[in-house]
Amino acid sequence: GFHCPRCGVVITDPEKAIYHLAEEINKALDHLGKRPE
């Protein structure tokens, strides 16, 4: 399965793993975007 390095969840379904990774990336980008320069 896929082990998410950010939250530690293990996902066996490849499609769900891709979707989860996309969510994590979106969260990371939002966090970076909101960080003051």
| End-to-end CA gap in the chain | 38
Percent of the chain at pLDDT exceeding 70: 92
pTM of the model: 0.70
* Segment 24-33, tens digit of pLDDT: 999 999 989 8
Number of neighbours of residue 7 by Cβ within 10 angstroms: 10
C-alpha pair distances (Å), 12 with each of 2, 6, 18:
6, 16, 11
The one-character DSSP state at 17 is H
pLDDT exceeds cutoff 90 at 7? no
Q: How far apart are CA 8 and CA 20, in angstroms?
A: 12
Count, in order, helices (H) and strands (E) of the chain: 1, 2
Q: How confident is the model at residue 20 (pLDDT cuts 50, 70, 90)?
A: very high
Give the pLDDT score at 10: 95
